[in-house]
Amino acid sequence: MNITVFGTGYVGLVTGACLAEVGNEVVCVDVDESRIAGLNAGEIPIYEPGLASLIERNREMNRLSFSVNAKHAVEHGLFQFVAVGTPQGEDGAADLSQVLQVADTIGRHMESYRIVVNKSTVPVGSADRVRSLIQQLLKEREVLCEFDVVSNPEFLKEGAAINDFMKPDRIVVGTENPRTTELLRQLYAPFNRNRDRLMVMDPRSAELTKYAANAMLATKISFMNEMANLADQVGADIEKVRQGIGSDSRIGYSFIYPGAGFGGSCFPKDLAALANTARASGCPSRILDAVKAVNHLQKQRLYSMINQHFAGDLKSRTIALWGLSFKPNTRDMRDAPSRMLMEALWEEGCQVQAYDPAAMPEARRIYGERSDLLLADTAEAALKDADALVIVTEWRVFQAPDFGRIKAELKQPLIFDGRNLFDPAALKARGFRYYAIGRGETALP
């Protein structure tokens, strides 16, 4: 099939590359000429395992191309995927300006039947707004042609997006048109072979499904963080609690790992947008507000532990920090716990020596050159003469370190673990002072 994807960000590139991989002819279009020029030169603007090779292979096979020619893009694809950003506004609402700009483009150039597929995360009712805008433009142009607008939200995890698209848990399709349903079933057939993953519903339900899914996952994380903080107070071990409740099939093990708080481009933004929708609908959600509040406090947890350990005497101390991205296998630092921690440490006059396997260029872009930030070449280099090691992101490379090397490089054997990577008893036996999240008594040498 011929497919057009508007937007060459995270969702657009993954969607375009994966659809091309199964044989479709895909054109990805963007208004950013420099971005398109870079993509045509083989430069991938995001970090996602496996994406660069996927794009390169399909470009070589002439199944995937990148363009700024919107008119050609509308002419090319039966399916017009909308995969542009919906950034958070000052009031928490999703900004639909880019989505509506794409709808305007489609409405001004469409000459024959098209299916507009909204992949962007949008508030309930957005499909209706897109449909109305396109209808209005077709009427002004005196063009008579049929089209449909579908909500088809993405459920891609950063760091595992290729696998999530190729082997989805579900494919949510929001349309009430049987013909459109059948065409989308054909489109997604290569990803829907061993069982039927297609879930067809009305567009508004599909739009709410995306927000509700992310809100539920964020709620699980914040709940476990509150339980971890309680465990610290009562002398329990949250790791044992996690295993105890995760064994209940009604709860499960996913997203019940306590830590330093969640970040990224989805959970914080989607929580705010859903809370805004709830308030605007006269049904404010106290649960969503509480999840946001708990997460904000949890992001301060590591700093509070460090400050308490040093009795407020942080000036001129050096802190080694492992992990800058909000999660492993991405370089995304949007709303990352590392940012709040570093900025709090700098306020107190600390020097930060940081290392991340992927996010170093992003840290340089955000913070530039500053005397109180050293971006180390290796995890070990970040340790040198530091007063403590703080683990903020659970990259696999951090999970079995050389503890002898850590002890030798630090001024004192002191670790603050924001992701509960290690066994407190084992660290105690090695002579470390070890602080974790919800592991009960601090491990003392």
Instruction: Name every residue whose Cβ is closer than 8 Å to that of residue 445 and which is 6 or more positions away in sequence.
Output: 413, 428, 431, 432, 433
Q: Are strands 388-391 and 373-375 parallel, antiparallel or unpaired?
A: unpaired
Q: What are phi and psi of 27, to 5 degrees?
A: -115, 120
Is the separation of the CB atoms in 333 and 363 below 8 Å? Answer: yes
Alpha-carbon gap, residue 224 to 370, rounded angstroms: 36
Residue 266 annotated to the active site: yes
Alpha-carbon gap, residue 186 to 1, rounded angstroms: 9
* Alpha helices, H only, 265-383: 267-280, 286-298, 301-309, 337-347, 360-367, 379-383
* Alpha helices, H only, 235-266: 238-246
Q: Which amino acid is at 264?
A: G
Which stretch of DSSP H or E encloses residue 173?
Answer: strand 171-174
Name the 3-class secondary structure at 384: coil
Query: Of the residues 18, 28, 145, 266, which is catalytic?
Result: 266
Burial of 151 by CB count in 10 Å (0-12 exposed, 13-18 middle, 19+ buried)? buried
Alpha-carbon gap, residue 253 to 168, rounded angstroms: 19
Length of the chain, in residues: 445
Helix axis angle for 337-347 and 301-309, nearest 10°, is 40
Q: Are strands 351-355 and 373-375 parallel, antiparallel or unpaired?
A: parallel
CA distances from residue 66 to 70, 235, 284 in whole angstroms, order as listed: 11, 57, 42
**Tokens of residue 232, six digits:** 């610290």
Q: Which amino acid is at 231?
A: A
Q: How many helices (H) and strands (E) does the chain have?
A: 18, 14
- Catalytic residues, by residue number, are 266
